[in-house]
Amino acid sequence: MFVPAAYRQPDLSWTVDMIRSNPLALLVTADPLGPGVHATHVPVILDPTAGDPTADGAAEIVLLGHMNRANPHWEAADAGEALVVFTGPHSYVSPTTYQTTPAAPTWNFTSVHVRGPVQRLGRSEPTLAVVQATVRAYEAEFGTGWDMAESVDYFRKILPGVGAFRIHARRTEAMFKLSQDQPSEIRERVRESFGSDPSGRRGEVADLMCRWRREAGPAAR
């Protein structure tokens, strides 16, 4: 992914937060039988046993995910390197927001690309562990604290149709395009415009623009 210097994250915590907040990722792998690729939207989490990538000691980013074994992508996923794409908050920026002429429209967006080899996991306990870790992560981030204890036997019944995998990141790229190429007064107009819609993606972009202003140093102001 081409990432201009102005759009590079201030630190790794931005990547980690993006993965946790936007876990429905696009998994892309080459087709081992010929030209072409497989692409599947899959739930992906950070491996909770791998340590905190943002902590001292720099633990590596390790991803866990699962998909339907009936998906042809499952058989193809064990060959070569995978690309996992996380898409975060984004929104169109109309030139009217700039209140200046000449101007051109653009799109503010956020994305993380993770590359690494796919390791397919065993059918039984390793796959169950991934499913349970995924439930815990999603309930903590998006849910209501649902207790899965009474559903584990059901999980075991459907487990033969579930394929779980692990990816150790060899390369991670992050892009946060948040109007950094504009003068500070125009960036603020964009932020205010987006902030007027706090319930949608525009509001999430505005929140990231505020965080960038706080954390990216004087140049971000």
- The CATH number covering residue 26 comes to 2.30.110.10
Q: What is the DSSP letter of 121?
A: P
Q: Answer for the pair 208, 105: CB distance below 8 angstroms, yes or no.
A: no
CA distances from 95 to 98, 101, 190 (A): 5, 8, 10
Q: What is the DSSP letter of 59?
A: P
Instruction: Specify if 207 maps to a domain.
Output: no
Pair of tokens at residue 19: 């993965």
CA dist 5 and 11 (Å) reads: 13
- pLDDT, block means (10 residues), the chain with 221 residues: 95 95 96 85 96 78 97 86 96 94 95 96 94 97 95 96 96 97 95 86 94 79 59
Instruction: Specify if 41 maps to a domain.
Output: yes
Residue 125: predicted pLDDT:
94
CA dist 59 and 12 (Å) reads: 11
Which residue from 141, 131, 150 is spatially nearest to 67, judged by alpha carbons? 131
Q: 6: how many CB neighbours lie within 10 A of its CB?
A: 14
Residue 79: predicted pLDDT:
67
Instruction: Specify if 116 maps to a domain.
Output: yes
Straight-line distance from the first to the last Cα atom of the chain, in angstroms, rounded to the nearest whole number: 26
Residue 102: predicted pLDDT:
93
Phi–psi pair at 171, nearest 5 degrees = -150, 135
Instruction: Specify if 202 maps to a domain.
Output: no
Residue 58: predicted pLDDT:
67
Question: Against a cut of 0.75, is the pTM above it?
Answer: yes
Q: Answer for the pair 53, 14: CB distance below 8 angstroms, yes or no.
A: no
Instruction: Specify if 78 maps to a domain.
Output: yes
Residue 80: predicted pLDDT:
78
Residue 217: predicted pLDDT:
65
Instruction: Specify if 113 maps to a domain.
Output: yes
Task: Give the count of domains, the chain.
Answer: 1
Domain limits at 168?
5-182
Residue 35: predicted pLDDT:
75
Instruction: Specify if 219 maps to a domain.
Output: no
Instruction: Specify if 48 maps to a domain.
Output: yes
Pair of tokens at residue 100: 């200046």
